[in-house]
Amino acid sequence: MSSPPLSISVAIIGGGLAGLMTAIGLSRAGHQVTVLEKSPVLGQIGAGIKMPPNATKIFKAWGLLEQLKGLSELPESATLRSYRGEELMRLDLRETMESKYDSPFLSVHRVDLHHLLAKTAEIEGAQTRLGVETLNISYDSDGHSGPIVELADGEHIHADLVLGADGERSFTRGILLNEGNILRDSGEHVYRVTVPIQEILDTADQGLHQLVNPPQINLWIGPGGNALTYRLKREQLFNIVLMQQHGRESEAPLAPQIISKNLVAQEFDKGWDPNFRKILDLTSTCTRWTLLESDIAPHWVDGKGQVALIGDAAHAMGPYAGQGAALAFEDAAVLSVLLARMTSLKQLPDVLTIYESIRTPRVRKMKQVTKDIRKKHSIPTGPRQEERDRQLREHSPLPGSAHFLADPVLQPWMFSYNALEEAEEAWSTFLRGEYPGTCGTWKLGRDGSL
Ligand SMILES: Cc1cc2nc3c(=O)[nH]c(=O)nc-3n(C[C@H](O)[C@H](O)[C@H](O)COP(=O)(O)OP(=O)(O)OC[C@H]3O[C@@H](n4cnc5c(N)ncnc54)[C@H](O)[C@@H]3O)c2cc1C
């Protein structure tokens, strides 16, 4: 007779994309999951998010891809342009991604994605508690050997495993690593603008229509900043994300602040593509904030093997590669596979060791990729920028290309990655007693005995 699956209690601090995706995966694996979110309302502010194939293939494996597609746009192409508007290189996305990576490249409104994850987590049996802020994590308690989450209202939640999914300003990371504030000004402002697509179509300007129809991604790169646009299905919005290097001191707050479109027009004025500026002119307001940066957490797991970091709490990175949330989904996939295979609670420290050792090399490389893209896109006007643009115009994509989505080396590294398969392979290695850094708990039976 087969034994029932092992079921442990998991408290996830933070109901963002990382926390909710992990709640889905762990509930599917039979664990009792509670998500603790400090905000009284679930649903992220902000507009769009791009979902590359390494992310969508996890949705596919968990039977969520059709629902995600129903909420998403399927961009046909990704075009890199000079900030003046000249087309430098176009990559076919729709055909390439499906045929090469067996999963699509999508764009979706964050609110829709959040709702899909929250609804699925609930269906899978996870409990989500809103308006509960975690203030501390401790270990000592009468007879309880696991960690305890202490909430702002004084309630104590006992769990076998605590996951810090509390974002780039992670309080869990501060406790785990005994760190103070680790966030720095990245030197850039981010602007988020949305324009109803119908307003663009009402202009009868073919130049503008071509940026909207068919669905596509456009990226303009310029000396001090860049601009990204793509369509969103929700409310038929045209999503615009702008990045602009600021002077010595940032003028923008850390939280998004509403500013007038005149301010944006001033920043993206000198020499920018007239079509792009016409679209900016159609918005009434936009938000702006200071982009922060931090280093990847040097450790993701506590000394006892009972508390771990996931998502931005472990590895926030700039948005240039559009992979931050995708990496969080990969974290969720890896943890879900490992915790589904675990047969004894005593294996938990080994599971978390394997999780961290699978994830850190990929995340470190992605962070470097992100920095490289930023550098290539912000080359000052001059001979190096002219040569970059000539190569983009005259060659098919080269390794190291500024059109990073078309880079023949980087593209398969980013998109063919399968977090679920990597975790399965790691677990097999562990079961053979060959996984470095583990404590030999592969020998344990379901009841924890040898
Ligand atoms: C401009 C921009 C564009 C981006 N575009 C893309 C993209 O196209 N594709 C992509 O993959 N990624 C993108 N990213 C990155 C992506 O947004 C993040 O990586 C992702 O949202 C991180 O999710 P998270 O759940 O780890 O953190 P968050 O989304 O920050 O969630 C953390 C949650 O924890 C809660 N919390 C915090 N502290 C506590 C506490 N003490 N108690 C309880 N709850 C708490 C917060 O309220 C929040 O809900 C972009 C980022 C930016 C800035």
How do residues 7-16 score in pLDDT, each as one tens digit? 999 999 999 9
Residue 379 or 247, more confident: 379
What is the C-alpha to C-alpha distance for residues 338 and 341, in angstroms, rounded to an integer? 5
Q: What is the pLDDT of residue 41?
A: 87
Cβ distance 321 to 404 under 8 Å? yes
Give me the residue label for tokens 């003028």. 251
Whose CA is closest to atom 21 on ligand 1?
325
What's the CATH number where 17 sits?
3.50.50.60
In a domain, 104, yes or no: no
Residue of 422, 356, 332, 359 whose CA lies nearest to 62: 332
**Distance, CA 12 to ligand 1 centroid (Å)?**
14
Q: Is residue 271 scored above 60 in pLDDT? A: yes
Cβ-in-10-Å burial (0-12, 13-18, 19+) of 284 comes to exposed
50: β partners:
107
Is 16 near ligand 1, meaning CB less than 6 Å away?
yes
In a domain, 407, yes or no: no
Question: Residue 180 above 70 pLDDT?
Answer: yes
Q: For atom 19 of ligand 1, which residue has the closest CA?
A: 324
What is the C-alpha separation between 251 and 87, in angstroms, rounded? 32
Contact 352, 301 (CB under 8 A): yes
Banded pLDDT at 95 (limits 50, 70, 90): confident
Evaluate whether residue 373 is within a structural domain.
Answer: yes
For residue 352, CA distances in Å to 58, 331, 366, 426 come to 20, 11, 21, 12
Amino acid 108: pLDDT: 97
Determine if ligand 1 sits within 6 Å of the CB of residue 322: yes
- Assess if residue 382 is contained within a domain: no
- Centre of ligand 1 to C-alpha 108, Å, is 15
Q: How far is the CA of 316 from the centre of ligand 1 (A)?
A: 8
Give the nearest ligand 1 atom to 14 CA. 34
Q: Give domain status of residue 100, yes or no.
A: no
pLDDT digits (tens, 9 = 90+) for 28-78: 999 999 999 999 987 656 789 999 999 999 999 999 999 999 999 999 999
Task: Specify the number of domains making up the chain.
Answer: 1
pLDDT score of 266: 86
Domain that holds residue 360: 9-38+131-182+295-377+418-443
- Name the residue of 228, 286, 312 to mutate for ligand 1: max ligand atoms within 8 A of Cβ: 312
| Residues 6+ positions from 226 with CB-CB distance below 8 Å | 83, 219, 220, 242, 243, 377, 378
C-beta of 329 in contact with ligand 1 (< 6 A) = no
Distance from the alpha carbon of residue 17 to the mean position of ligand 1, in angstroms? 6
Answer whether residue 167 is part of any domain: yes
Mean pLDDT of the residues in the chain: 94
- Residue 255 within any structural domain of the chain: no
292 touches ligand 1 (CB under 6 Å): no
In this structure, which residue's CA is closest to atom 41 in ligand 1?
Answer: 134
| Closest Cα to atom 52 of ligand 1 | 319
pLDDT at 2: 54
Specify if 347 maps to a domain: yes
